[in-house]
Amino acid sequence: MTEPAQRVPEDGGRSSLRADVEPEISTTSSRLHKFARWLVIVFSAANLLMAVAILALMWSTIANPGTPLPTRINDSVSIVGGLLFAAVIFLIAWNAGNQPANLALALALALLNSGQLFDKLLEQLHASDAIRDLVGLPIFILFYGFWILAAARFPRKLTPADIASSGTIWGRIRPLRAVFVLFLRPPAVWGLVAISVILGTPPINNPVVAAVKGLATLLLVVIYFHIQYRSGDVETRKKVLWFFEFFLGWFVFILLRFGVQAVLPKDSSETLRAVVSVFFNTAGKIVPLFCICMAVFYAGAISPALVIRKTFVYGVTAALLLFTYATLEAFVVNIVVARTGINDQFASATLGAVLALAFHPIKNRMEHGLRHVGLSVAPRGTAPHQLDSHEPSRP
């Protein structure tokens, strides 16, 4: 007698294997994924609240009675940049936190923003330097570490083969290649970051170590993003390009700032130093924020659903033009009425017609410029329209 034939599943037995192995891994991964997503959301929401609180304290005459106006304006530019930064990161985690690579990058950016805003909040609350250093130490360790890990994982996880196949100096020279392969491992990253941050803070507080730590970390992030760009396909390069520009621009601004501070005479006027500080603070916020917005809302690096459609840009532009027009009209009418004493209704009607004629060519020029910008007009969930039909040029 032959034994009855055993029934073989249609998928060749793979379903039983998935039932035995995958549920535990999938559950653990899902929990970590949800925890990371909500961590980014909480950090971003806290950053939004901190930025608003800092602005309120900064412009309060009771909290800061003797702060000069240029200093308040300089700090306000930095805080407003942090506020917009937090809003973009919150949007990434809320609408597009469905991939580990997205969350790694969003968490690194959220921690970076938290470190800057929390330090400024403690400064406005007149906390001592010791408290600021003690509170900032774990935040700095976390965001420096997540920077490096995010660069090695967005939009895909780098491997030693990617670094070895790179045609640049860190791929050809064996000691450099070994260093960059080493820091693909999280324990090596956290060890390096913890040691360098501790050496750069009190009681050791070595400024040289602090400067080298910041530049070395940024350089490592830039190199990892460069390798991601060079080793990826067209879709990967499109996602990585603007983040590469973000960190590269930041690195260049830090070098320029060090250079200007080194050559600036010690006896230079306070006005000159304030102008230099405002320039670097403003550029250091606008350029990274611009790169992040281009990556998220134009290139679709996080999700095609976040790409801004041209109709939305038209609507926002029209609203800004109307707001500017109404503000300017009210301002000019008040001046004319106060200087000439004519009827305000007559002045409002006359100037309204004049300003409407003046704004019409401005509106046409802005719409003409927007038509040449490759913003997506596709519905949500579809791939964004690229600026050109060919692949991005290599940096």
pTM: 0.68
Q: Does 38 share its domain with 97?
A: yes
Q: Does 330 share its domain with 205?
A: no
Query: How many domains does the chain contain in total?
Result: 2
Q: Within a domain: residue 18?
A: no
Q: Within a domain: residue 14?
A: no
Q: Does 293 share its domain with 322?
A: no
> DSSP string covering 289-317, please?
HHHHHIIIIIS-SS-GGGSPBHHHHHHHH
* Structure tokens belonging to residue 32: 């970590």
Q: Within a domain: residue 255?
A: yes
pLDDT in tens, 333-381: 677 777 776 766 766 677 667 766 766 666 666 666 656 654 443 444 4
Q: Within a domain: residue 6?
A: no
Picking from 164-168, 215-219, 306-310, which range would have the lowest pLDDT averaged per residue? 306-310
Q: Within a domain: residue 165?
A: yes
Residue 376 β-bridge partners: 309
pLDDT in tens, 281-334: 778 778 888 888 888 888 888 888 788 776 666 666 666 666 666 666 676 767
Task: Find the mean pLDDT for residues 56-73.
Answer: 68
Band of residue 63 on the pLDDT scale cut at 50, 70, 90: low
Separation between Cα atoms, residue 47 and residue 195, nearest integer Å: 27
Structural domain of residue 44, as residue ranges? Answer: 26-306
Q: Within a domain: residue 387?
A: no
Q: Does 320 share its domain with 297?
A: no
Q: Within a domain: residue 378?
A: no
Picking from 66-70, 133-137, 331-335, which range would have the lowest pLDDT averaged per residue? 66-70
* Structure tokens belonging to residue 208: 């040289």
Separation between Cα atoms, residue 119 and residue 311, nearest integer Å: 39
Q: Does 229 share its domain with 355?
A: no
Q: Does 97 share its domain with 155?
A: yes
Picking from 83-97, 209-223, 323-337, which range would have the lowest pLDDT averaged per residue? 323-337
Separation between Cα atoms, residue 86 and residue 81, nearest integer Å: 9
Band of residue 136 on the pLDDT scale cut at 50, 70, 90: confident
Q: Does 107 share its domain with 250?
A: yes
143: how many CB neighbours lie within 10 A of its CB?
23
Q: Does 192 share its domain with 321?
A: no
Q: Within a domain: residue 389?
A: no
